[in-house]
Structures are given as structure tokens and as C-alpha cells.
Structure 1
């Protein structure tokens, strides 16, 4: 039991939702099986929790994390990097408000090529990046939560208040999607930086694997900036669900045996948290099973 592959934490969750999930109609109308409350823990010294029972396109997840860190909230910058994971929400809004049944390809091309169109239709509202880097207080002052975390880790690493979050109640109704990965808390012990992510809503098949490797990328960057080694990554899920159109894919994934976790490596030390680029990241020893395709529920 002690040598059980850590990826079984994920596979056990898949099985638990399939076997015991509460069937319900959700916001998307697709329907889901849902459980409440889950926790996993990974020692990053033993490898990054990049799933091996299916291929996870980790560069897309890391590009998204780097985009969050810029404070940007418009999908234009993402689309220019061929990251399309946020297109569904502004596209749905465009179709609803204009009545034009435009294809995703045409919509994305217009966002990339037409700055005025992008400004009107590509913005997601005050989502993650805005809250992380430019949280606006009642006095109008903006607060850079990421800078605050790094400063606290450098100056007061034993503090129990080293965290940031995105659930700004006053801004929720202006967001394309309220934050799912909400609270990131950090802990230092024996020169190692651990991170705990609280995620209120978890698309277990598609979203969760992205959230895990993206958070590990963030944890690794912050650790480097604070002269620490990455420690444990702890994940806590609230509403953990499988959409009804993902059940067969989950069952397929459960037939596969995990392979060794890879290492996530930073190839250089960036000057600051804003200086990282996707080219700075390398995944070493990743040998996953084939990708499993599934549709995003919007």
C-alpha cells in the first residue's frame, strides 16, 4: 500500500463519482454526477502530478497560468498563443446577444485580428488575473496579491496568512465564470514550499488535471523566487463532478495503469514572477497513455 502510485488518488476519485455520485442537473444543462469534499496530496520531490493515464496538454495549462499572472482578462492574448480553453464563454455571449450563429473558428479569428472586436467581445470580466494582481478595495486602491504572497514568504515565512484568492463577491456577477480554483495557501517547512489549493467546483475529467499542473507550475515559480524547493501540493475539492457526457471517457481512463510521474523543471531563474515564459518550463520523463477527448460543458 505504501508504494501505491499517487495517481490512484485521482483514479479513486473518478471511481467514487461514477459509483456514488449524486445525479443532478447543473448550470450547463448537461447534467452531472457529483460528490462533495475530496482531498489529494502529492510530494513534488517525487514528481509532478501530471496524469499519465491520459495525455494532458500541460503547455496549455501553464500558458493559462502565465496569462493569469499578467492580470489580463481578455482572451485575445491566449488565442494568439493558440490557447482556446476560454473561448466558449465569450462565444456563447456573442451568439446570445447578436443572434449570429458564428462558428468558433470565425469568432476566434476576429478576436485575434480585430482589437476593437476583441475589446468588446473577448473580455471575460474581472476574472482570475484581475483579482490576483489588481484586486480593488473599497477605497479604490488596487492590491497585488501575488506580490504580497512573495513578500510574505521572503520576510515572514512562518505566517499563517500567506494566501491569495479570487472570490471577490462584488465582482462575481460581472465575471464570465465565477472562480472555480479559489484559494491558494502557502506553507514553508525546512526550506520547502507547499501549496494548498481549494477548488469549489471541479470538472474532474477535463478541468482538474489542468488545475493540478498549472498550480504546480505556479508553486514552482514562487518557490524559485523565494529560494525554496517545491514541497507538497495539496488539493481540496468542493463539488467534484463528472458531466454525463464524460462518463464513458472516465471508465476508459480507469482501465489504464499509471506510469511514473514526470518532473517539472524550470530551465532558468527569472528576474521576477512576471518574467517567466512558456519556454522556461520543461517536463522530463513524461510517457502518458493516449489523450482522451471530451467536450467542455459551458
Structure 2
């Protein structure tokens, strides 16, 4: 593919700064069309971002001959259908995270793209950010020795919404769950990138406050296929905010947040380094560049349907009993 000509399905908030401009600025890439069910909003987006075409129908965008790759930027409840639509048209797909509402949908998306012979990528963009590339380099270099265990803690206070005005992120039919699915998926995926696939998973999900119809706390213990152990708690009903991941090895520890640029390195000899590695202006641009390069035959992207589906499997394991009840 000489140049990747993108069409966006669902040009909402996530595409304004994080990804839309990145599709335009990545080398070998251009944004040629956008779609939103509200045509007036699609037209407005196109005019503000200098995009030549806009649609209010996904099939029309997918079948536009000028579009040779499709970015699905809708809530997760629509990822499955739009991915299958693009695959049927023979167009490579880059889909927002989480990949889908559940692992079964992910598997069907992977199969559809494999059968159509088109690549499938997922926007777990932390796999391309400089901070996490550096963390992976540190782990692989052995600076903290053999990895023993991981501990993740994410806390934030509960937000109240009027009934009927809840955002899609806490509507399971659209998101697959609550804020755990939207936010914890980032942490689980980046740990997969840093340490490999997670194997056995055990945990609990609960609605402690009764204020929403989704889980507001999830705890887990799990084991990576490599033998590294892990624990985590994600509470969306806490008194304060905290975002901390700790990777502990035989010679030291790495401490970092999922959502900011902070990184702390402690080693057994008492040395401590504290770094801040800022994100680029358009946070998806480094990962999008790997996707564009992959489509052009230059390299391989680290975030595919196969890698992303693993995170959905882990979340399914943790939420299954809650939603079954």
C-alpha cells in the first residue's frame, strides 16, 4: 500500500485531538473521509479538520474507493458490526479500545478479518508511547532483575449522574461494563505488552454503592504465562484518586501510572530515579505510525486484534459472575 487513506466511522471526541490529527500527520497517511450518524456533526468535523468527504452512513464511507483503511472510533457496542462491514469490503481496520464488549465479539472480528485477508489493529496506543517503550526497554535490559510480581491500584471518587443521562461508558449494552472496562483495559493491555499474556485469572466485581447499574469495584489475582504473579484493584467509589502500577523484580522496582508520564526506578543498591516522560500532542500518533508502517510493509504494529482480545478475555473472567447475577 503506497499511502494509507483513512476513513473514520464515528468522528466524536476521541478523534478531535488524540487520533484524528494523528491520521493526518503520520508519514504515509492521510484522512480522506469521516462519518457520523448525525450528518451535520460529520460535516462540521470535516470542515474544521480539512477533510474532503463526510458521510452519515457507514456503508457509504466503507465503500468509498478513495478509502483504503477504516478507523472505527465509536463506543464498543458498535465495534463488532463496523469491523465486519469493513472486512467484507476488504478494508484493513483500526478499532478503538476496548476492542469489543466481550471476548466472543473479539474472536468473531478476528475471524472475519482473517477470512477477508485484511489486518486488524486496536488503539491501545500506550504500546507506542515513549514512556512505555522505555519501561519495556528497562525490563528487557534486566535493570530490575527477574520479574516477580505486579501490583496495580486505581482509585477515583464516584460520580453521580441523573437517571437517563448516564454516559455510554457506564451503559453495559454500549461499553461492555462500567468504567473498569474503559479504564482498566489500558492497564491490563500495557502489562500484556510489557510482560506477556496473562494466563489464569481470578477475582471479584461488585456494585458497593448501588448508585449505578455497573460494577464500581473490581479486584483480581492472576498469573502471567511466564510465571510472574499479579494483583489489582480498581475502585470507582473511593475518597481520592490514585493511579499506580508497580513491577517488582529481584533487583529493583518500577513504579508508574497508567495515565500520566511519571516513572520511578528503584534498585537494590539504593539508587532512585524519578522521571517524567511526556506524551506527544496527539497521543495515538506513535501507534498510528506503526499501523501505517505495517500496512505499507515497513514494519509490524505491536497492537493487533489478537493482542487486544487477550485483554477482553481477562475482563470477561473478572466480570462474568457480576453480570450473570
> Aligning the two structures, in what range does the TM-score lie when normalised by the shorter sequence?
under 0.3
Instruction: Report the TM-score when normalising by structure 2.
Output: 0.25
